[in-house]
Amino acid sequence: MTQATVPESRNVLDYQVVVRGLFGRNRTAKFAMFKVRRADAGAFVDLADLLPLMESKLAEIKFKSGYVAVKEYPVELRNGFETFVLMSERTLHEERR
C-alpha cells in the first residue's frame, strides 16, 4: 500500500501594478493589473526594487495619465492552484500622474 501524500502548500506574495487611466496604442481609458514579481511570504521585498519594475511596465504599455499603484497580494499555492482572499491586498505605493 502506498501512503496518501499531504498536499504541498506554500504561501507567497504577488506584487502587481494596478493602472487606471489613458494608455495603449489609442490612449483610451482602461483598467489593467500586471504581475511584476512573486516572492516567498517571509522574504523582504523593498519598494525601491519594485518602483523600477513599475516604471518599465508603464513605459511598455505607453502610459499617458491616470492612477498607478503597486499592491501586494497574499497567495497560497497548493498542488498547482493559486488561492487568494478578495480584498486582502495591501497598497505599497500609489500616485496620480
Looking at every residue in the chain, the average pLDDT score rounds to 90
Task: Dump pLDDT digits (tens) for 10-55.
Answer: 899 999 999 999 998 888 899 999 999 999 988 989 999 999 999 9
User: What is the domain partition of the chain in residue ranges?
Assistant: 9-96
Q: Using DSSP bridges, classify how beta strands 28-40 and 9-23 pair: parallel, antiparallel or unpaired.
A: antiparallel
> What is the reported pTM?
0.83
pLDDT of residue 71: 96
SS3 per-residue string spanning the chain: CCCCCCCCEEEEEEEEEEEEEEECCCCEEEEEEEEEEEEECCCCCCHHHHHHHHHHHHHHCCCCEEEEEEEEEEEEEECCEEECCCCCCEEEEEEEC
Dig out the grid coordinates for 78 from the structure. 497548493
State the amino acid at position 93 in one-letter form.
H
